[in-house]
Amino acid sequence: MFLHKKELQFEAKPEKSDPLLAKQIQELIGGQFGEMSVMMQYLFQGWSVRGEGNQKYKDLILDIATEEIGHVEMLVTLVARLLDKAPVEDQEAAAKMPVIGAALSGMNPQHAIVSGLGARPADSVGNPWQGSYIISSGNLLADFRANLNAESQGRLQACRVYEMTTDQGVKDLLSVLIARDSYHQNMWAAAIAELEEKEGLLVPSTFPREKERLDLAYSLYNHSEGEYSSEGSWANGQALDGQGELRYESTPPVEGSIPMLKAAPPSTHNTLPADKDKSMM
């Protein structure tokens, strides 16, 4: 059950209308790494947690998921206010010829045509938000690593938009979201470290190592010109999983043969083999 409070957790009041900035803020709402993505990712992860012993993780995920719902509402409110009280001539032009008027004012045409000066569940160029953006695998360590990446990308994009505007009201809200993304990165990193201590580095920890080719499990193969990658910690010393030694191989192994596929049946009308012609068909 979810309960909605009418007050925003933090204010979302720009100093003035700015249709172009409203378009940019859309990326923070419905982009691949926008607030809608982390909101839905965490909700589905939290709802799918199994086992009584994992209750603290379920509560953690749903705490953050519910917070993200509020972030979406704040940004949607911000977009609406950025579109509110736009110059009268822009709105009149948009009303007569929405596409041309919106383009001339720098705004997202869909804000004028589709949503009536409201935010859209879409990114800054109009691509609709997609459920395929989210990751919810049922493995908490794998999911928490995805969450850390999502918060890293989200904070990066919010910082970039912060640098794009001089509107102090917008900066005030973005400073809140950036700070929360900072905490969420710390939080997921801590949760990852806890799970790694319990389960180990590799996901899934329940898969028996003897079922994999362990002779291939610790080598970096050189697949590019030069050997600069051999200088990294990933190519030398003990692996972080504690179970093998990392090594660099300048020549990748070749164990397979040249594949030769059988000719397709005539009904597929593929190209005839070199030793065949129509007279033989």
The CATH number linked to 42 is 1.20.1260.10
Q: What is the pLDDT of residues 115-134, one digit of tens each?
A: 989 999 999 999 999 999 99
pLDDT score, position 88: 44
pLDDT score, position 113: 85
Say if residue 188 is in the same domain as residue 242. no
Domain membership of residue 99 (yes or no) is yes
What string of H, E and C letters represents the secondary structure of 233-271? HHHCEECCCCCCEEEEECCCCCCCCCCCCCCCCHHHCCC
CB 38 within 8 A of CB 154: yes
pLDDT score, position 12: 98
Binding site members for Mn(2+): 35, 68, 71, 151, 184
Q: What share of the chain is helix, strand, coil (3-state, %, to 5)?
A: 55, 5, 40
Binding site members for Ca(2+): 59, 63, 222, 224, 226
Helix or strand run (H / E) with residue 24 = helix 19-30
Say if residue 161 is in the same domain as residue 70. yes
| pTM tops 0.85, yes or no | yes
Residue 215 domain boundaries: 209-249
Which residues of the chain fall short of a pLDDT of 50? 88
Domain membership of residue 77 (yes or no) is yes
Task: Look at the chain and report how many structural domains it folds into.
Answer: 2
Domain membership of residue 143 (yes or no) is yes
Domain membership of residue 260 (yes or no) is no
Say if residue 97 is in the same domain as residue 213. no
CB 46 within 8 A of CB 82: no
pLDDT score, position 272: 82
Say if residue 74 is in the same domain as residue 149. yes
Which of 39, 212, 57 is closest to 139 using CA atoms? 57
**245-249 and 219-221 as β-strands: parallel, antiparallel, unpaired?**
parallel
Q: What is the pLDDT of residues 48-96, one digit of tens each?
A: 999 999 999 999 999 999 999 999 999 999 999 999 876 545 555 555 6
Domain membership of residue 192 (yes or no) is yes
Domain membership of residue 91 (yes or no) is yes
3-state secondary structure of 128: strand
